[in-house]
Structure 1
Amino acid sequence: MSFTLKHFYQQSKEKYKLKFITPSVALNHKITWIHLLEDINNCSFIRGGELIITTGLNAGKEDLLFDLASKIYASGASGLILNVGNYIHHIPDSLISWCSQHDFPLFTMPWEIHIADLMQDYCNQIISEERTQERRNSALLQCLTSENDTAFQTLCPDFASGCAVASDHELSIDCYAFVLYETTYYYLCSDIDGFIFDRHCGVSNLTEAPLHLSLILKQAYRSMQVSKIKNTEVSFFKDIGLYYAALAIDDLDVLYQAERLLSPLQDEDIRSTFRLYLEYHGSVQATAQALFLHRNTVNYRIQKARRLLQTYSAEKELEYLFSFYLCDCLKLKELDLLTP
């Protein structure tokens, strides 16, 4: 969990007499480092996320100050502090307007404040946070590789509650800890309210016990697999139902047996209607409404499916439904084998 401009501004604006002069800009930009920059030609050294401080030593003219701001913005800086009073006496309205339009935070700090004090303060906090994050990530990795949840509780006693998120690609979300294990990204989050999930994400149940972390990591992974099966942005563990059991089966013979059981249903309309009928607990009305079909059409397809299956009986309905889930899992395994 990296620091944002909001964190630093709120905790040190009085201490360093900082003024935020682009109030319409959000302060959610992440800070990776603090950098003093006077020469516009050194902007190439910005790697992204730095908070830049300048005294305006080499940017005395209005257009040069504007050029410096636009160049560091293009280089990926998170914000700019103008150290005013010696070289910078006036902040052009055009610069403030430009920063506001480009969502680029702009601050001022008086000349009497020692830049070195602010830089040392901020950099120490960033280094400390990076070490804390490394410890959390290492503890989370242990939960994935050894199911040693007691280690996590020892290394991260401040973790109270949260849920796990799994994804087949990297996410930009606030999290307590994260790790890439094999081909899956895992995130431990204290809160996911307001998160905008991308494709193929899985979310576990909430846990308030660190001793259950291995369990919710599995829940998140299974939920991500369901998201891939259904090609959705996110699947929540509380909603995946029989998939949790189906995805736990690694025996390919079992999966192929499910495929053989349903093989008589070659017609896609018959197959999909019969599956939906089972998922709606045998309700013809609900199935018809979901498919925007007349009840008679649904009844015809159900009867056709029953005849094709031959061994159909009410007692076997759960077996057929579970077989559909197993076939989904088989397709997922085959897809994963084909994916480089």
Structure 2
Amino acid sequence: MAVILNKLYAQGQRMDLRLIAGGEGLNQMVSWVHMVENKEASSFLDGGELVFTTGIGLFQGSTLMDLVKSTYGHHAAGLIINIGPYIQAVDEDIILFGNEHCFPIFTVPWRIHLSEIIRQFSYMITKSDQYDQETAAAFLNAIFFPKQEEMYVVSLTRRGFQAEWAYSVVFIQVEGKKDGPTERLNEINNLLKAFLMHYYEKFMIFTHEGRLLLVLADYSETETHAIVESAMQYLGKILKPEEVLSYGVGKNTRSIRCLYKSYHQASSLQKLQAHGKVDRSLHYYSELGLYKLLLAIEDPDILEDYYEKTILPLINYDQEHGTSLYAFLQCYLETDCNAKVTAEKLYIHRNSVTYNIHKIESILHISLSSLNVKMQLFMGMLIRDFL
């Protein structure tokens, strides 16, 4: 449940809400509103709240600056100060603190009822949450029930996502989240959403089964790459040292009806990357090469059967006899079957290369002089990484 602070501020200006510091922090997401009258009460904040104070709880030894620092320290989205009998003015050092820390600080005159501002802001946050939930549900319906267009086309069109636009899915996983993984993922979701909203409009980001799904709408492939790169750079800044990021980006679709294809491409690529099956620098489905053919095969039994008839017998032989013929074959194929380079890479004699080739040919009943055979074996190795 969150709405960007800048939208609340736009609404609050109609009620004489005035920003006095921290304008660079207006792109934060506000999770809820909360009254805090002293620094002790700020310990009840969960983070992301827009805090209101009249100053009635400030007593001797506790200052407004203490309250400002405390709310900031508990990750509030901003602070609204009610100027009146308890706080007559905001000192310059508080304004300086807000600007230095990009912490939005507002004032509102006493004649304005805080209850009315709180009511309006709470309504906007609730409606934003409802919008996000319904939009996310429609996109999930498009992914998992693509043939049932009545479950998503009209709903998304009403929200400005046209059916004939091109769409791309970014499948994001953050591993290593320790305390409160669900809460941390929601926090990352809100932070990334606020960042993207500052620069882009046609997107939707939400959590699903412990991952983040980012849907980009009506962007070219070049624009999609630019958006994804900026988003990942931002994530690199906000993630904790122990958190590990992996992601996959599906191909642009022809319409919303093909969104499921981009989703499956992105999710499969992310899983391959997370398990070390492909280079971690590969993030885009369009860059996968031969792996794209494997991803297009929906029946895993086909891949299993191919693997068992090409590479598995050699792996079984290695396990039974304590040899490393599979590793040798992998190096041999990767060096374009160059015996000299293979010998140098593996630190073995050229005669050993010849011996291993004959041994592999005998085990697999093949001839490595055949280009077709070498292609089959190479594909079998890719399938082994893929499974």
The code of the aligned residue for 2:36 comes to: L
Alignment of 1:254-269 (within 5 A): 254-260=306-312, 263=315, 266=324
Q: Which residue of 2 aligns with 1:80?
A: 79
Shift, 1:267, TM fit: 5.2
- The match for 1:187 is 214
CA contact 2:170–2:214 (8 Å) conserved in 1: yes
Contact 2:146 / 2:257 at 8 angstroms: preserved in 1?
no
Q: How does 1:176-255 map to 2 (within 5 A)?
A: 176-181=204-209, 185-190=212-217, 192-193=227-228, 194-196=230-232, 199-207=245-253, 209-228=255-274, 229-230=277-278, 232=280, 235-247=283-295, 248=297, 249-251=299-301, 252-255=304-307
Is 1:180–1:186's contact at 8 Å kept on the other side of the alignment?
A: yes
Q: Which residue number in structure 2 is paired with residue 162 of structure 1?
A: 167
Q: Distance in 2 between matches of 1:271 and 1:92?
A: 74
Using the alignment, how far apart are the partners of 2:72 and 2:300 within structure 1? 50
Distance 1:7 1:305, change over 3 A: farther
Q: Does the 8 A contact of 1:200 with 1:233 survive in 2?
A: no
Mapping of residues 274-285 of structure 1, within 5 Å: 274-277=332-335, 282=336
> Using a 3 Å threshold, how does the CA distance of structure 1 residues 176 and 315 change in structure 2: closer, same or farther?
same
CA distance, structure 2, for counterparts of residue 87 and residue 208 of structure 1: 60
CA distance in 2, matches of 1:187, 1:119: 31
Amino acid at match of 1:274: Y
The Cα of 1:61 is off from its aligned counterpart by 6.5
Any idea what SS the aligned residue of 1:113 has?
coil
Displacement, 1:238? 0.8
- What is the CA–CA distance in structure 1 between the aligned matches of 2:337 and 2:231, rounded to whole Å? 35
**Residue 65, structure 1, aligned to residue 70, structure 2:** no
* 1:222-242 CA distance string (max 9 Å, x none): 211231223626621111222
- Residues 20-58 of structure 1 show CA distances to partners (whole Å, capped at 9, x for unaligned) of 3134x4323210112232244433432221101112122
Shift of 1:300: 9.7
Instruction: Tell me if the contact between 1:62 and 1:92 (Cα under 8 Å) persists in the aligned partners.
Output: no
Quote the RMSD (CA, aligned, Å).
Answer: 3.6
1:232-284 superposed Cα distances (whole Å, 9 cap, x missing partner): 2662111122223334452234333343265489257634433434xxxx597
- Distance in 2, matches of 1:14 and 1:267, equals 75
Name whichever of 29-38 and 83-92 sits farther off.
83-92
Partner of 2:119: 120
Summarize the alignment of residues 48-59 of structure 1 with structure 2, pairs less than 5 Å apart: 48-59=47-58
Stretches of structure 2 lacking an aligned partner (at least 5 in a row)? 175-184, 194-202, 218-223, 236-243, 319-323, 362-366
Would you say how many aligned residue pairs link Structure 1 and Structure 2? 318
**Residue deviations 1:103-143 (CA, integer Å, cap 9, x gap):** 42222223333323322222211111111111122223333
1:178·1:186 contact (CA, 8 Å) conserved in 2?
A: yes
CA separation of 1:315 and 1:91: change in aligned 2, threshold 3 A:
same
- More moved, 242-251 vs 152-161: 242-251
Task: Classify the secondary structure of the residue corresponding to 1:201.
Answer: strand
Question: For residue 316 of structure 1, what is the amino acid of its counterpart?
Answer: V
In the alignment, is residue 322 of structure 1 matched against residue 376 of structure 2?
A: no
Q: Secondary structure at the match of 1:56?
A: coil
- Distance across 2 between alignment mates of 1:186 and 1:69: 35
* Preserved contact between residue 5 and residue 28 of structure 1 (Cα < 8 Å): yes
Q: What residue identity is the alignment partner of 2:309?
A: Q
The aligned runs of 1:263-302 (5 Å cut-off) are 263=315, 266=324, 270-277=328-335, 282=336
Q: 1:78 to 1:301 in 2, by over 3 A?
A: farther
Partner Cα separation in structure 2 for residue 322 and residue 74 of structure 1: 55
Q: Which has the higher contact order (CA 8 A, sep 6+)?
A: 2
Contact 1:262 1:320 in 2 (8 A): no
